[in-house]
Amino acid sequence: MDFIKIRFTNHFDPEGSSASRITEDLFRLINPLFTLSERTLKPQIDVYESQKEILILAEIAGVDKEDLEVEICRNTLRIAGRRKQMRPGEKGTYRLVEIQYGPFERCLVLPSMVDTEKVSASYVNGLLHIQLSKISDRTKTNQIQF
């Protein structure tokens, strides 16, 4: 059985969360061809919530499982990794380049708290599936006598 590395942490320090990254994202929204640096890979993600669980599906085709990190912190999920560039033959010229390579990172605030003891993940056909069990909203209350 293959396992996906999942790290549980109390604090995130996402790289590249500076003002320059925000500025670049704004310019990229105006015109995708205008960038201040090389393009960054931003995998597409679906989040589905039911009464008992949260399901996350991330599209990260072409990423080796060894180059993939998943971190869970309270009600936050971080998916990071690197898609390595494949070099075609040396005797050719690119005519079109659309596939993005390099490092990526997505941080999501989850819609509710999750039980970090009940997490499962799989990576099949370029899709990362993460299943998180929600912590019950029914918290035990104590009546205080005074």
CA 133 to chain centre: 18
**What is the number of structural domains in the chain?**
1
Q: Which residues contact 35 (CB under 8 A, 6 or more apart)?
A: 24, 27, 28
Return the structure tokens found at 137. Answer: 């909203």
Residue 124 lies in a domain: yes
Q: For residue 106, is it within any domain?
A: yes
35 vs 29: CA distance, rounded Å: 10
Q: Is residue 141 a part of any domain in this protein?
A: no
| Whole-prediction pTM | 0.66
- The residue range of the domain holding 105 is 42-134
pLDDT tens figures, 116-144 = 888 999 999 999 999 999 987 555 455 56
Q: pLDDT tens across 5-54, in order? A: 666 666 655 555 556 666 666 665 565 554 544 557 889 999 999 999 99
Tell me whether residue 116 is in a domain.
Answer: yes
Q: What is the CATH number of the domain that holds 106?
A: 2.60.40.790
**Domain annotation covers residue 139:** no
